[in-house]
Structure 1
Amino acid sequence: MTKQSRKDTILTAALACITDVGADATTIEMIRERSGASIGSLYHHFGNKERILASLYLEGLCRYAERLDGNLVAAADAAACIGALVTSYIDWVVENPDWARFILHSRGRIEAGEMGEQLKNSNREHYVHLQARLNTFIDEGCFRDLPPECFASIIVGPAHDMARNWLAGRLNKHLADYRELLAETAWIAVRATPDQSPQ
Protein backbone atom coordinates (compact mmCIF):
# COMPACT_ATOMS: atom_id res chain seq x y z
CA MET A 1 0.00 0.00 0.00
CA THR A 2 1.41 3.37 -0.93
CA LYS A 3 1.93 6.14 1.58
CA GLN A 4 -0.81 8.29 0.07
CA SER A 5 -3.37 5.49 -0.02
CA ARG A 6 -2.58 4.68 3.61
CA LYS A 7 -3.15 8.31 4.56
CA ASP A 8 -6.45 8.30 2.68
CA THR A 9 -7.52 5.15 4.53
CA ILE A 10 -6.77 6.80 7.86
CA LEU A 11 -8.66 9.97 6.91
CA THR A 12 -11.65 7.93 5.73
CA ALA A 13 -11.66 6.05 9.00
CA ALA A 14 -11.37 9.28 10.97
CA LEU A 15 -14.36 10.76 9.16
CA ALA A 16 -16.42 7.63 9.85
CA CYS A 17 -15.56 7.82 13.56
CA ILE A 18 -16.40 11.52 13.71
CA THR A 19 -19.71 10.86 11.98
CA ASP A 20 -20.55 8.15 14.51
CA VAL A 21 -19.48 9.75 17.79
CA GLY A 22 -18.32 13.32 17.07
CA ALA A 23 -14.87 14.85 16.82
CA ASP A 24 -14.35 15.25 20.58
CA ALA A 25 -15.21 11.64 21.38
CA THR A 26 -13.14 10.22 18.52
CA THR A 27 -9.85 8.77 19.73
CA ILE A 28 -6.63 7.69 18.06
CA GLU A 29 -7.42 4.10 19.05
CA MET A 30 -10.83 4.27 17.36
CA ILE A 31 -9.25 5.59 14.15
CA ARG A 32 -6.52 2.94 14.32
CA GLU A 33 -9.04 0.13 14.75
CA ARG A 34 -11.30 1.37 11.96
CA SER A 35 -8.47 2.03 9.49
CA GLY A 36 -6.48 -1.11 10.23
CA ALA A 37 -3.36 1.05 10.55
CA SER A 38 -0.82 0.64 13.30
CA ILE A 39 -0.35 3.29 15.96
CA GLY A 40 3.11 3.83 14.52
CA SER A 41 1.64 4.49 11.08
CA LEU A 42 -0.89 6.96 12.48
CA TYR A 43 1.77 8.93 14.28
CA HIS A 44 4.17 8.70 11.34
CA HIS A 45 1.68 10.22 8.92
CA PHE A 46 -0.03 12.73 11.21
CA GLY A 47 1.55 13.01 14.64
CA ASN A 48 -1.60 13.27 16.74
CA LYS A 49 -5.40 13.37 16.63
CA GLU A 50 -5.63 17.11 16.02
CA ARG A 51 -3.39 16.80 12.98
CA ILE A 52 -5.62 14.03 11.65
CA LEU A 53 -8.65 16.30 12.04
CA ALA A 54 -6.86 19.23 10.43
CA SER A 55 -5.66 17.05 7.54
CA LEU A 56 -9.20 15.77 7.04
CA TYR A 57 -10.46 19.35 6.97
CA LEU A 58 -7.81 20.53 4.51
CA GLU A 59 -8.26 17.51 2.24
CA GLY A 60 -12.00 18.18 2.07
CA LEU A 61 -11.42 21.80 1.12
CA CYS A 62 -8.86 20.74 -1.48
CA ARG A 63 -11.25 18.32 -3.17
CA TYR A 64 -14.01 20.91 -3.20
CA ALA A 65 -11.61 23.50 -4.65
CA GLU A 66 -10.56 21.09 -7.41
CA ARG A 67 -14.19 20.59 -8.40
CA LEU A 68 -14.86 24.32 -8.34
CA ASP A 69 -11.73 25.17 -10.34
CA GLY A 70 -12.70 22.72 -13.07
CA ASN A 71 -16.20 24.15 -13.31
CA LEU A 72 -14.93 27.74 -13.36
CA VAL A 73 -12.55 26.98 -16.21
CA ALA A 74 -15.47 25.54 -18.15
CA ALA A 75 -17.70 28.58 -17.48
CA ALA A 76 -18.16 30.46 -20.75
CA ASP A 77 -19.57 33.69 -19.34
CA ALA A 78 -20.19 35.59 -16.11
CA ALA A 79 -23.57 33.96 -15.45
CA ALA A 80 -22.06 30.51 -15.80
CA CYS A 81 -19.18 31.51 -13.54
CA ILE A 82 -21.53 32.64 -10.76
CA GLY A 83 -23.65 29.55 -11.28
CA ALA A 84 -20.56 27.37 -10.92
CA LEU A 85 -19.73 28.96 -7.57
CA VAL A 86 -23.14 27.91 -6.25
CA THR A 87 -23.66 24.54 -7.92
CA SER A 88 -20.11 23.31 -7.24
CA TYR A 89 -20.66 23.90 -3.54
CA ILE A 90 -24.10 22.25 -3.49
CA ASP A 91 -22.94 19.26 -5.53
CA TRP A 92 -19.95 18.67 -3.24
CA VAL A 93 -22.11 18.85 -0.11
CA VAL A 94 -24.68 16.46 -1.59
CA GLU A 95 -21.97 13.96 -2.53
CA ASN A 96 -20.05 14.33 0.74
CA PRO A 97 -22.56 15.10 3.50
CA ASP A 98 -20.48 13.74 6.40
CA TRP A 99 -17.37 15.58 5.23
CA ALA A 100 -19.36 18.77 4.67
CA ARG A 101 -20.91 18.52 8.13
CA PHE A 102 -17.46 18.10 9.69
CA ILE A 103 -16.07 21.10 7.79
CA LEU A 104 -19.03 23.32 8.63
CA HIS A 105 -18.65 22.63 12.35
CA SER A 106 -14.86 22.51 12.69
CA ARG A 107 -13.42 25.69 11.19
CA GLY A 108 -12.79 27.40 14.53
CA ARG A 109 -11.12 24.32 15.93
CA ILE A 110 -8.78 23.96 12.96
CA GLU A 111 -7.97 27.67 12.81
CA ALA A 112 -7.02 27.64 16.49
CA GLY A 113 -4.91 24.49 16.16
CA GLU A 114 -1.32 23.89 15.14
CA MET A 115 -2.25 23.70 11.45
CA GLY A 116 -4.26 26.91 11.53
CA GLU A 117 -1.66 28.81 9.56
CA GLN A 118 -1.69 26.15 6.85
CA LEU A 119 -5.46 26.54 6.60
CA LYS A 120 -5.13 30.32 6.27
CA ASN A 121 -2.52 29.91 3.53
CA SER A 122 -4.70 27.38 1.70
CA ASN A 123 -7.71 29.72 1.85
CA ARG A 124 -5.59 32.63 0.67
CA GLU A 125 -4.31 30.69 -2.35
CA HIS A 126 -7.81 29.59 -3.24
CA TYR A 127 -9.11 33.16 -2.97
CA VAL A 128 -6.35 34.53 -5.22
CA HIS A 129 -7.09 31.88 -7.85
CA LEU A 130 -10.83 32.53 -7.66
CA GLN A 131 -10.39 36.29 -7.82
CA ALA A 132 -8.24 35.98 -10.92
CA ARG A 133 -11.09 34.15 -12.67
CA LEU A 134 -13.69 36.69 -11.52
CA ASN A 135 -11.51 39.65 -12.54
CA THR A 136 -12.06 38.79 -16.19
CA PHE A 137 -15.78 39.44 -15.81
CA ILE A 138 -15.31 42.34 -13.41
CA ASP A 139 -13.16 44.09 -16.01
CA GLU A 140 -15.90 43.53 -18.58
CA GLY A 141 -18.43 45.23 -16.31
CA CYS A 142 -20.56 42.11 -15.84
CA PHE A 143 -21.21 42.68 -12.15
CA ARG A 144 -22.92 45.46 -10.23
CA ASP A 145 -20.77 47.64 -7.99
CA LEU A 146 -20.58 45.78 -4.68
CA PRO A 147 -18.24 45.96 -1.68
CA PRO A 148 -15.63 43.26 -2.34
CA GLU A 149 -16.08 41.84 1.15
CA CYS A 150 -19.78 41.20 0.43
CA PHE A 151 -19.40 39.55 -2.96
CA ALA A 152 -18.81 35.95 -1.89
CA SER A 153 -21.44 36.07 0.86
CA ILE A 154 -24.08 37.33 -1.54
CA ILE A 155 -23.29 34.55 -4.01
CA VAL A 156 -22.72 31.51 -1.81
CA GLY A 157 -24.27 32.64 1.48
CA PRO A 158 -27.81 31.39 0.72
CA ALA A 159 -26.50 28.03 -0.54
CA HIS A 160 -24.33 27.74 2.56
CA ASP A 161 -27.34 28.37 4.81
CA MET A 162 -29.49 25.90 2.88
CA ALA A 163 -26.73 23.29 3.12
CA ARG A 164 -26.59 23.70 6.91
CA ASN A 165 -30.34 23.22 7.14
CA TRP A 166 -30.27 20.19 4.86
CA LEU A 167 -27.42 18.56 6.76
CA ALA A 168 -29.34 19.14 9.99
CA GLY A 169 -32.49 17.56 8.51
CA ARG A 170 -34.46 20.79 8.53
CA LEU A 171 -35.47 20.84 4.85
CA ASN A 172 -38.53 19.11 3.48
CA LYS A 173 -36.86 18.63 0.08
CA HIS A 174 -33.43 17.48 -1.03
CA LEU A 175 -30.74 20.17 -1.21
CA ALA A 176 -30.19 19.37 -4.90
CA ASP A 177 -33.77 20.45 -5.61
CA TYR A 178 -32.76 24.05 -4.87
CA ARG A 179 -29.58 23.94 -6.96
CA GLU A 180 -30.71 25.85 -10.05
CA LEU A 181 -32.86 28.31 -8.11
CA LEU A 182 -29.97 29.29 -5.85
CA ALA A 183 -27.61 29.64 -8.82
CA GLU A 184 -30.09 31.84 -10.70
CA THR A 185 -30.77 33.96 -7.61
CA ALA A 186 -27.05 34.51 -7.06
CA TRP A 187 -26.62 35.73 -10.63
CA ILE A 188 -29.59 38.10 -10.34
CA ALA A 189 -28.10 39.50 -7.13
CA VAL A 190 -24.71 40.42 -8.61
CA ARG A 191 -25.25 41.03 -12.32
CA ALA A 192 -24.92 44.53 -13.72
CA THR A 193 -28.16 46.12 -14.87
CA PRO A 194 -28.37 47.63 -18.37
CA ASP A 195 -28.12 51.19 -17.03
CA GLN A 196 -24.85 50.53 -15.20
CA SER A 197 -21.59 51.54 -16.80
CA PRO A 198 -18.73 49.05 -17.07
CA GLN A 199 -16.52 49.05 -14.04
Structure 2
Amino acid sequence: MVESASYRRETTVLRRQGIMMAALKLFATRGYTETTMEDIRQLSGASTGSIYHHFENKENLALALYLEGRKELNERLQPIMNRPGQPLEDTIKDLVAAYVAWFTDNPELGQFLIQADSTEYLSTQVQSLQQSSDAISQHIMAWLRPMIDTGRIALYPDQIYMPLLFGPSREFLRRWLKSRQQIDFAHIQQELGRAAWRTLRPHP
Protein backbone atom coordinates (compact mmCIF):
# COMPACT_ATOMS: atom_id res chain seq x y z
CA MET A 1 0.00 0.00 0.00
CA VAL A 2 1.34 3.42 -0.95
CA GLU A 3 1.60 5.84 1.97
CA SER A 4 -0.20 9.14 1.50
CA ALA A 5 1.70 12.42 1.84
CA SER A 6 -0.43 13.41 4.85
CA TYR A 7 0.39 10.11 6.58
CA ARG A 8 4.10 10.60 6.00
CA ARG A 9 3.91 14.16 7.34
CA GLU A 10 2.07 12.99 10.45
CA THR A 11 4.59 10.22 11.02
CA THR A 12 7.47 12.68 10.65
CA VAL A 13 5.91 15.08 13.15
CA LEU A 14 5.31 12.27 15.66
CA ARG A 15 8.87 10.99 15.24
CA ARG A 16 10.30 14.47 15.82
CA GLN A 17 8.11 14.92 18.89
CA GLY A 18 9.22 11.55 20.24
CA ILE A 19 12.87 12.53 19.87
CA MET A 20 12.26 15.81 21.68
CA MET A 21 10.41 14.13 24.55
CA ALA A 22 13.19 11.57 24.94
CA ALA A 23 15.74 14.38 25.08
CA LEU A 24 13.70 16.25 27.66
CA LYS A 25 13.47 13.18 29.87
CA LEU A 26 17.20 12.56 29.66
CA PHE A 27 18.10 16.21 30.25
CA ALA A 28 15.94 16.13 33.38
CA THR A 29 17.36 12.87 34.76
CA ARG A 30 20.98 12.82 33.56
CA GLY A 31 21.59 16.46 32.83
CA TYR A 32 22.36 18.08 29.51
CA THR A 33 26.12 17.56 29.62
CA GLU A 34 25.91 13.84 30.35
CA THR A 35 23.26 13.13 27.72
CA THR A 36 24.46 12.11 24.26
CA MET A 37 22.64 12.01 20.94
CA GLU A 38 23.03 8.23 21.05
CA ASP A 39 21.25 8.14 24.42
CA ILE A 40 18.41 10.15 22.92
CA ARG A 41 18.28 7.96 19.84
CA GLN A 42 18.03 4.79 21.91
CA LEU A 43 15.34 6.11 24.24
CA SER A 44 13.26 7.53 21.39
CA GLY A 45 13.63 4.43 19.23
CA ALA A 46 14.64 6.55 16.24
CA SER A 47 17.23 5.46 13.71
CA THR A 48 20.52 7.31 13.47
CA GLY A 49 19.51 8.75 10.12
CA SER A 50 16.15 9.90 11.48
CA ILE A 51 17.48 11.68 14.55
CA TYR A 52 20.13 13.58 12.57
CA HIS A 53 17.59 14.37 9.87
CA HIS A 54 15.54 16.27 12.45
CA PHE A 55 18.37 17.69 14.57
CA GLU A 56 21.91 18.43 13.47
CA ASN A 57 23.26 18.10 17.00
CA LYS A 58 22.31 18.17 20.67
CA GLU A 59 22.48 21.96 20.84
CA ASN A 60 19.91 22.33 18.05
CA LEU A 61 17.67 19.79 19.76
CA ALA A 62 17.87 21.66 23.05
CA LEU A 63 17.06 24.95 21.33
CA ALA A 64 14.07 23.33 19.61
CA LEU A 65 12.81 22.19 23.00
CA TYR A 66 13.21 25.70 24.37
CA LEU A 67 11.34 27.25 21.45
CA GLU A 68 8.54 24.68 21.77
CA GLY A 69 8.14 25.45 25.45
CA ARG A 70 8.04 29.20 24.86
CA LYS A 71 5.48 28.70 22.09
CA GLU A 72 3.23 26.62 24.35
CA LEU A 73 3.52 29.14 27.17
CA ASN A 74 2.68 31.99 24.81
CA GLU A 75 -0.38 30.10 23.58
CA ARG A 76 -1.55 29.75 27.19
CA LEU A 77 -1.14 33.45 27.92
CA GLN A 78 -2.24 35.05 24.65
CA PRO A 79 -6.01 34.42 24.92
CA ILE A 80 -6.15 36.08 28.34
CA MET A 81 -5.17 39.42 26.82
CA ASN A 82 -7.98 39.15 24.25
CA ARG A 83 -10.93 39.04 26.64
CA PRO A 84 -13.09 42.09 25.92
CA GLY A 85 -14.49 43.98 28.86
CA GLN A 86 -12.51 42.22 31.56
CA PRO A 87 -11.18 44.55 34.29
CA LEU A 88 -7.46 45.20 33.95
CA GLU A 89 -6.75 44.01 37.48
CA ASP A 90 -8.40 40.66 36.74
CA THR A 91 -6.43 40.28 33.51
CA ILE A 92 -3.11 40.88 35.25
CA LYS A 93 -4.01 38.35 37.95
CA ASP A 94 -5.18 35.83 35.35
CA LEU A 95 -1.93 36.19 33.40
CA VAL A 96 0.07 35.38 36.51
CA ALA A 97 -2.21 32.46 37.38
CA ALA A 98 -1.91 31.05 33.85
CA TYR A 99 1.87 31.47 33.91
CA VAL A 100 2.15 29.47 37.13
CA ALA A 101 -0.35 26.89 35.90
CA TRP A 102 1.56 26.21 32.69
CA PHE A 103 4.75 25.43 34.59
CA THR A 104 2.95 23.20 37.08
CA ASP A 105 1.18 21.40 34.23
CA ASN A 106 4.51 20.95 32.38
CA PRO A 107 7.14 20.64 35.12
CA GLU A 108 9.89 18.96 33.08
CA LEU A 109 9.64 21.36 30.17
CA GLY A 110 9.14 24.28 32.54
CA GLN A 111 12.27 23.41 34.47
CA PHE A 112 14.17 23.14 31.20
CA LEU A 113 13.02 26.63 30.17
CA ILE A 114 14.16 28.15 33.44
CA GLN A 115 17.50 26.36 33.38
CA ALA A 116 18.12 27.20 29.73
CA ASP A 117 18.11 30.92 30.47
CA SER A 118 21.22 30.61 32.61
CA THR A 119 23.03 27.44 31.53
CA GLU A 120 26.06 27.67 29.29
CA TYR A 121 24.75 25.48 26.49
CA LEU A 122 21.82 27.74 25.62
CA SER A 123 22.29 31.02 27.41
CA THR A 124 23.84 32.92 24.49
CA GLN A 125 21.21 31.75 22.00
CA VAL A 126 18.40 32.31 24.49
CA GLN A 127 19.54 35.82 25.33
CA SER A 128 19.74 36.67 21.64
CA LEU A 129 16.25 35.26 21.13
CA GLN A 130 14.82 37.20 24.05
CA GLN A 131 16.30 40.44 22.79
CA SER A 132 15.13 40.01 19.20
CA SER A 133 11.97 37.94 18.86
CA ASP A 134 10.54 36.80 22.18
CA ALA A 135 6.86 36.42 21.26
CA ILE A 136 5.64 36.39 24.86
CA SER A 137 7.31 39.69 25.73
CA GLN A 138 6.28 41.26 22.45
CA HIS A 139 2.63 40.30 22.86
CA ILE A 140 2.41 41.43 26.45
CA MET A 141 4.18 44.73 25.79
CA ALA A 142 1.93 45.42 22.79
CA TRP A 143 -1.07 44.78 25.03
CA LEU A 144 0.28 46.91 27.88
CA ARG A 145 1.42 49.85 25.76
CA PRO A 146 -1.93 51.68 25.40
CA MET A 147 -2.55 51.31 29.14
CA ILE A 148 0.92 52.57 30.00
CA ASP A 149 0.40 55.56 27.71
CA THR A 150 -2.96 56.41 29.29
CA GLY A 151 -1.80 55.94 32.87
CA ARG A 152 -3.75 52.77 33.62
CA ILE A 153 -0.45 50.97 34.23
CA ALA A 154 2.40 52.52 36.21
CA LEU A 155 5.22 53.99 34.15
CA TYR A 156 8.48 52.03 34.24
CA PRO A 157 11.29 51.41 31.75
CA ASP A 158 10.03 48.92 29.17
CA GLN A 159 12.73 46.43 30.06
CA ILE A 160 11.35 45.75 33.55
CA TYR A 161 7.66 45.12 32.86
CA MET A 162 8.15 41.39 32.29
CA PRO A 163 10.28 40.95 35.43
CA LEU A 164 7.72 42.92 37.43
CA LEU A 165 4.84 40.87 36.05
CA PHE A 166 6.36 37.39 36.20
CA GLY A 167 9.61 37.70 38.18
CA PRO A 168 8.25 36.67 41.60
CA SER A 169 6.30 33.81 39.99
CA ARG A 170 9.41 32.65 38.16
CA GLU A 171 11.44 32.62 41.37
CA PHE A 172 8.72 30.67 43.17
CA LEU A 173 8.58 28.17 40.31
CA ARG A 174 12.35 27.82 40.17
CA ARG A 175 12.32 26.79 43.82
CA TRP A 176 9.23 24.59 43.54
CA LEU A 177 10.51 22.71 40.50
CA LYS A 178 13.48 21.52 42.53
CA SER A 179 11.32 20.06 45.31
CA ARG A 180 7.95 19.32 43.59
CA GLN A 181 6.36 19.44 47.04
CA GLN A 182 2.61 19.38 47.52
CA ILE A 183 1.34 22.93 47.78
CA ASP A 184 -1.85 24.99 47.55
CA PHE A 185 -1.29 26.40 44.09
CA ALA A 186 -4.60 28.24 44.01
CA HIS A 187 -3.51 30.31 47.00
CA ILE A 188 -0.02 30.85 45.56
CA GLN A 189 -1.44 32.00 42.22
CA GLN A 190 -3.79 34.39 44.00
CA GLU A 191 -1.07 35.98 46.10
CA LEU A 192 1.39 36.28 43.22
CA GLY A 193 -1.33 37.86 41.09
CA ARG A 194 -2.11 40.37 43.81
CA ALA A 195 1.58 41.22 44.14
CA ALA A 196 1.90 41.79 40.38
CA TRP A 197 -1.13 44.06 40.32
CA ARG A 198 0.08 46.09 43.31
CA THR A 199 3.33 46.70 41.44
CA LEU A 200 1.82 47.53 38.05
CA ARG A 201 -1.25 49.54 39.05
CA PRO A 202 -0.98 53.33 38.84
CA HIS A 203 0.82 54.90 41.76
CA PRO A 204 -1.39 57.08 43.98
Q: Please, what TM-score do these two structures have when normalized by structure 1?
A: 0.85
| Range with greater deviation from structure 2 (51-60 or 78-87) | 78-87
Inter-partner Cα distance in structure 1 for 2:189 and 2:153: 21
| Cα deviations by residue, 1:172-193 (Å, 9 ceiling, x for unpaired) | 7344430011101111111114
Match of 2:99 in 1: 89
Q: Is the 8 A contact 1:155 1:186 kept in 2?
A: yes
Inter-partner Cα distance in structure 2 for 1:91 and 1:7: 26
Which portions of structure 1, spanning 4 or more consecutive aligned residues, are displaced by more than 4 angstroms?
Answer: 115-120
Task: Indicate the percent of aligned positions where both proteins have the same amino acid.
Answer: 31
Show structure 1 runs of 5+ residues with no match: none
What is the aligned counterpart of 2:70 among 61, 66, 76? Answer: 61
Number of residues paired by the alignment?
192
What is the aligned counterpart of 1:7 among 5, 10, 16? Answer: 16
Match of 1:102 in 2: 112
Note if 1:134 corresponds to 2:144. Answer: yes
Q: Which amino acid aligns with 2:46?
A: A
Give the superposed CA RMSD: 2.3
1:1-199 pair list within 5 angstroms = 1-74=10-83, 76-108=86-118, 109-112=121-124, 117=128, 120-123=131-134, 125-169=135-179, 173-193=183-203, 195=204
| Range with greater deviation from structure 2 (87-96 or 164-173) | 164-173
Inter-partner Cα distance in structure 2 for 1:158 and 1:118: 22
Q: Is the 8 A contact 1:91 1:176 kept in 2?
A: no
Show structure 2 runs of 5+ residues with no match: 1-9
| Range with greater deviation from structure 2 (36-45 or 67-76) | 67-76
In structure 2, do the counterparts of structure 1 residues 170 and 35 end up closer, same or farther at CA, with 3 Å as the change threshold? closer
| Cα deviations by residue, 1:8-67 (Å, 9 ceiling, x for unpaired) | 111111111112211111111111111111111110011111111111111111110111
Q: Please, what TM-score do these two structures have when normalized by structure 2?
A: 0.83
Inter-partner Cα distance in structure 1 for 2:130 and 2:40: 23
Q: Is the 8 A contact 1:90 1:176 kept in 2?
A: no
3-state SS of 1:59 partner: helix
Q: Which amino acid aligns with 2:24?
A: L
Q: Is the 8 A contact 1:144 1:192 kept in 2?
A: yes
